[in-house]
Amino acid sequence: HVQLVESGGDSVQAGGTLRLSCVASGHTDSIDSLITMGWLRQAPGKEREGVAAACTSRGDRTFYADDVKGRFSISRDDAENTVHQQMNSLKPEDTGVYFCAAAPHAIHPLKVIEYNHWGQGTQVTVS
């Protein structure tokens, strides 16, 4: 069993920055199997969507949704079992609950259906 715990959500003004963090815990073999880790968000009244993902199986490749490219940056520290998301130049449309998620393998790392481990979410509000 894998547990993911997010932190860092807050209310900020447009143009501001936030840094989200997620810590994974659980059995060592389970943690080591988390090839793909990502951030997904759910805006009020909208479906959950992928924002960014990092895959160790693809040469440490990162993936971003088009509307966050150049503004968000995902990074992972496997020694600490953490994944971060630096969010710059925040816009009101970035508002939502941000979830950390993980999966042993993901063909499409920005698709919600790929993930089988989820955190409880952290609220980001941009006004």
DSSP reduced 3-state for 6: strand
Burial class (CB in 10 A: 0-12, 13-18, 19+), 28: exposed
- Candidates 56, 96, 102, 55; CA nearest to 64 is 55
Integer Cα distance of 19 and 64 in angstroms? 16
Mean pLDDT of the chain: 93
Pairing state between β 122-126 and 11-12: parallel
- Give 29-54 pLDDT, tens digit per residue: 777 788 899 999 999 999 999 999 99
Helices H, strands E: what count in the chain?
A: 1, 11
